[in-house]
Amino acid sequence: MPKQVIVIGAGLAGLAAAIRLARQGLSVQVFEQAESPGGKLSELRHEGYRFDIGPTLLTLPFVIDELYQFCGEKREDHLSFIPLEILCRYFYSDGIQLDAFAAQDRFEQEIRKIHPADAQALPRFFEYSRRIYELTADPFLFSPIHEPSVWWRRQNLTALLHLPQLDPLSTVHQGVVRFFQDPHVIQLFDRYATYNGSDPFQAPATLNVIPYVEYGLGGFFVQGGMYRLVEQLVQLARRNGVSIQCGSRVQKIIHHRKKIKAVKVDGKEIATDYVLCNGDVVTSFRDLLPEMQKPNRKLAKLEPSLSGLMFLWSVNQEHPNLLQHNIFFSRDYRQEFHSLFQEQQPPDDPTVYVAISAKSNPADAPPHAENWFVLVNMPPVRPDHNWPEIVNSIREKVLHRLEQHGVFIRNSITFEKVITPLDLQDHLSSNRGSIYGLASNSRLTAFTRPSNRSREIKGLFFAGGSSHPGGGVPLVLLSGKIASDLIMREVPQ
């Protein structure tokens, strides 16, 4: 009989792992507590409007291409990726507006309008970013770095020998200001630390790899909406024999003598050889393995990533001055992150992200209307947070910020749905509502992030944003690949 694998959670990492394991002959069941798959990537439809909830941009598309190739299929037969000409439009408090063109020469021209010297520095910054990618991609993104054997590979030893080029002793901000002088440009590149929910004034400058990922390798939108990615991976999983059961809550991971035996699902025990948990590592240990006191104490000390307050707005008018991705920056970025991480309170002056997928996919909204996904960074959930009060306050600040830039939608919102950090905590079992799992605010985060293989229980594995290599669409897909590869190493041949 084939070995049995139970995957807890039908997020992207869980689906990717399930597909790979089933393709290699294992019997795979996926249990998802929600009524639909996708985890933090979901969508909402309401009276002709369609909203992506969660990720709104795709990078490293070759990760998805490789998954389809692994299954003997072509991604292009199922999913279309649209490259973005302008990755984001940035609005600053002093009225400056800057378009981040995907093409480096056009981006340079844009920066030259406000600071010629910084335009000249842009190629050097991207070369610095590219070098970090080339040195870190294999050991830190594509490999299980917690496995000792990984570091004996030649290319990974090379990364260690060139450690200073990874810039681990500087912060993201310190790395950026070595190249740029203009505060607008600095704030733009500091922002990339938030791609994994971290603080640019604490996170290691190694994260300056992210601009190369977006500009050097491209930013894309999934035709039909980001949720098409979930739907197509579900179909790919089922074509390869994976059983996916939504509305099924795993209540307990059962082990004996430090070896996986079963899981309890809706009161019923189901035997299995391996468990791959796609849930948050912190909450999974706390809720499914409460008897594991030592790892629970250790995990509780890890810093959660940023959370977020989301508004989904149906807007019955068009805004030609806005693009698919828009950022309205705060006046004082350092103070904003001090509020978020040191004070763990909502910022008085928040940066506002607005995504309007109808700009690329007109079917997402009725004619002459727009679907707005609005995200404001929030601290992890604390007991003293009054979310109804916070929602009202932040909503007013968002509308006021938009109005400062000539965008008046207050009387044009015909539908609103609000998603708070408390919702993320309660409905997605996210540790204190974190979006990206764990923050990378330590020089050693890459090594202290939970591994994909449990050291406490044989047969238990993890994949997703809170485990290696981290949060974001491509990284959680890679996490699923890494975890599935580790499982296959244990399967008798």
Tell me: pLDDT of 160 over 70.
Answer: no
In-domain check, residue 22: yes
The CATH number of the domain holding residue 127 is 1.10.405
In-domain check, residue 250: yes
The partner residues of 306 in beta bridges, in order of sequence, read: none
pLDDT band at 162 (very low <50, low <70, confident <90, very high): low
Dihedral over Cα of 463, 464, 470, 472: its sign: positive
In-domain check, residue 58: no
In-domain check, residue 280: yes
| 200 shares a domain with 146 | yes
| 239 shares a domain with 195 | no
In-domain check, residue 199: yes
325 phi-psi bin (left φ>0, alpha ψ -120 to 50, beta other): beta
> Range with the lowest mean pLDDT among 114-123, 141-150, 197-206?
141-150
The CATH number of the domain holding residue 454 is 3.50.50.60
| 168 shares a domain with 249 | no
| 232 shares a domain with 172 | no
In-domain check, residue 379: no
In-domain check, residue 73: no
Domain count, the chain: 2
* Best CA proximity match to 124, nearest among 59, 189, 192: 189
| 202 shares a domain with 155 | yes
| 181 shares a domain with 148 | yes
Percent of the chain with pLDDT over 90: 90
- Residues spanned by the domain of 470: 4-41+224-302+444-490
Identify the pLDDT of residue 340.
Answer: 98
Domain boundary among 216, 251, 269: 216
Average pLDDT on 81-101 reads 97
| 143 shares a domain with 194 | yes
Cβ atoms of residues 9 and 34 within 8 Å: no
Q: What is the pLDDT of residues 267-324, one digit of tens each?
A: 999 999 999 999 999 999 999 999 999 999 999 999 999 999 999 999 999 999 999 9
Identify the pLDDT of residue 146.
Answer: 77
Domain boundary among 169, 185, 216: 216
In-domain check, residue 344: no
* Lookup: tokens for 410: 């207050």
CA distance 216 to 214: 6
Domain boundary among 216, 249, 279: 216
